[in-house]
Amino acid sequence: MPENKTASGDRYLVLTTFICGAIIMVVELLGSRVIGPPFGVSLFVWTSLITVTLVSLALGYWIGGRVSDIKNSPAALFTIILASGICLLFIPLIKGAIIEQTLKLGLRAGSLASSVILFGPPLFFLGMVAPYTVKLYMTDTEKVGKTVGWLYAISTCGSFLGTVLTGFLLIPNLGVNNIIYLSSLILIAISAGYWLIFSKKPYFMLIALLPIGLLLVPKELPSIVRPDGTEVKMLINQDSAYGQIKVVDYQYGGNHLREFLLENMIQGAIDVNTGMSISKYTYYMEKLALSYRPYAKKALIIGLGSGIIPNRLLHEYGIQTDVVEINQGVVDAARKYFNYDPAIPTYVEDGRYFLKSVNTRYDIIMLDAFAGDTPPSHLISLEAFQFIKKRLAQDGILLINFVGSNMEEDKLVPSSLYRTLKEVFPSVDVYLPGDYQTSKPGIYNISIVAGGAGVAPAGETAMAPVYNDFREDVSGLLTRKAFYEKGPLVFTDDFNPIDFHDLKARERFRYNIISSSDRGIVID
């Protein structure tokens, strides 16, 4: 393939174009998994990633075209590809230090800065590949359009394959770091392959040993000892189709606590010694369920978390409970680390789809899928609530655990949620945590009960044991019913800007969690 073009050389160029197109999409998709755990996977994070991708590729196209006119050489092209592979290779090695520093800039500026530093260089070099391959492949200047169209079609086909493989196969099975090392290996190998096949320099293949070595090195999960002597140990760090799953233990003296994290957001926690929940909101949901439907026989929970609530409903109160959870990884972790009962019927699918496809009637439906950066808008709409109402038994209730702010500027979303519920359910009650009014501005679990006309709590009902620190707060929940005015919006499938209006509250929520957590656990 050197200066005298050959058919085999052209085929190698086409293969190179296809592979580089695939890797571009792999890098863009993996970007959210690299910076998502500390910065979140919200609108501003995706904006940062897409901006960096487009700008880096544009610069690569421009510079690559200029350089190809100056140095029209296959060796130069494959040196550029080698550089992109080496840049990728370093992402898992330096991401901790980069994110540690960029977190100081805040979530928005930090996500943009980390995207530029980590993904800008490899995407820039990959952008240079397209104009270079056109220059090397083209022989007939009268067929420029045909050549460019052909090669860009090949690159786009590669991007399609890279997208599908990454989203549906690689992330759930290999993990983010291993996919990055594999992508680096492919780029380095195709570059070294040029020197082996066409320049007869086999020693260049030794470069491929770098990513192979990193792929084979086992990675230990982080373990930290705080200044006060608390031992913090990560038990699992797993990339799933719907986010990064972590389980973290905290031990000090005889105390042993365990947290379940999804994208570094707490989904549930227990005292390992007693098995009791140390997530206050789980007791709120339990108390409201018992108070409003003391004789409930069947419940549905959308959003499993650590599995604390369905376990308690079944084993403490004899309520037959179905669970819908979209993420199989969450189900597996809840069973292994939080004693989630495998006998509880658990459906791994989308909650909205489940509501449409079953005919079962439930006394209680709990919607607990809100502890993330972006609220699931398809579950918070007029149409979704209408589906839920159809699945409720007579006098059945909908319970919602909504994570919201106590700041006046953030009231639009919960008040609009209240208005949307009132369009479907005659009765909607809102309950606040004990420190909602007295604490400084923050993010809290807001409990909502919706049902038919006249639905009201039957009074105090005996509960199973509550974690000692929460007894007084949980006992007074029914006295903290809040007055809510209808907000300005009705959320529908057609118009549901909840993620836009709730952005600042969610950003503060993540910032509070990240700033108070162990950096070694957050960034890993």
At 340-351, the pLDDT tens digits run: 999 999 999 999
Model confidence at 503, pLDDT cuts 50, 70, 90, reads confident
What count of other Cβ atoms lies within 10 Å of the Cβ of residue 299?
A: 25
For 497-518, what is the mean pLDDT?
Answer: 76
Quote the pLDDT of residue 141: 61
Q: How far is CA 65 from CA 133, 137, 140, 188, 200, in A?
A: 10, 13, 18, 22, 27
Quote the pLDDT of residue 322: 97
Pairwise pLDDT comparison (435 vs 285), residue with the higher score: 285
Is 5's pLDDT higher than 70?
A: no
The Cα 335–Cα 306 span in angstroms is 8
Is 408's pLDDT higher than 80?
A: no
Is 456's pLDDT higher than 80?
A: yes
Pairwise pLDDT comparison (31 vs 138), residue with the higher score: 31
Which ranges in the chain are annotated with CATH 3.40.50.150? Answer: 276-523
Which ranges in the chain are annotated with CATH 1.20.1250? Answer: 7-216
| Residue 30, C-beta contacts closer than 8 angstroms, at least 6 positions apart | 166, 171, 176, 179, 180
Residue tagged 């090949």 (tokens): 154
Pairwise pLDDT comparison (16 vs 265), residue with the higher score: 16
Is 1's pLDDT higher than 60?
A: no
If one looks up domain 276-523 in CATH, what number appears?
A: 3.40.50.150
DSSP per-residue letters across 101-163: HHGGG-HHHHHHHHHHHHHHHHHHHHHHHHHHHHHHH---GGGHHHHHHHHHHHHHHHHHHHH
Q: Parallel, antiparallel, or unpaired for β 443-451 and 427-431?
A: antiparallel
- The pLDDT tens digits for 355-369 are 988 889 999 999 998
Model confidence at 146, pLDDT cuts 50, 70, 90, reads confident
For 166-177, what is the mean pLDDT?
Answer: 84
Lowest mean pLDDT among 206-220, 221-235, 425-439: 206-220
Is 2's pLDDT higher than 50?
A: no
Lowest mean pLDDT among 2-16, 69-83, 369-383, 392-406: 2-16
Model confidence at 397, pLDDT cuts 50, 70, 90, reads very high
Quote the pLDDT of residue 390: 94
From the list 385, 13, 328, the residue with the least C-alpha distance to 171 is: 328
Quote the pLDDT of residue 19: 94
DSSP per-residue letters across 165-217: HIIIIIHHHH-HHHHHHHHHHHHHHHHHHHHHHTS--GGGGGGGHHHHHHHHS
Is 142's pLDDT higher than 80?
A: no
The Cα 312–Cα 290 span in angstroms is 12
From the list 344, 363, 361, 360, the residue with the least C-alpha distance to 295 is: 363
Task: Pick from 6-20, 49-63, 171-185, 373-387 the range whose average pLDDT is largest.
Answer: 49-63
Quote the pLDDT of residue 327: 92
Lowest mean pLDDT among 52-56, 111-115, 388-392, 440-444: 440-444
Is 27's pLDDT higher than 90?
A: yes
Tell me the fold of 7-216: Growth Hormone; Chain: A; (1.20.1250)
Is 189's pLDDT higher than 70?
A: yes
pTM of the model: 0.86
Pairwise pLDDT comparison (288 vs 141), residue with the higher score: 288
Question: How high does pLDDT run on average in the chain?
Answer: 88
Quote the pLDDT of residue 490: 95
- The pLDDT tens digits for 234-293 are 999 888 878 889 999 999 989 999 999 988 888 899 999 999 999 999 999 999 999 999
Is 373's pLDDT higher than 70?
A: no
The Cα 356–Cα 345 span in angstroms is 18
For 180-201, what is the mean pLDDT?
Answer: 85
For 385-412, what is the mean pLDDT?
Answer: 89
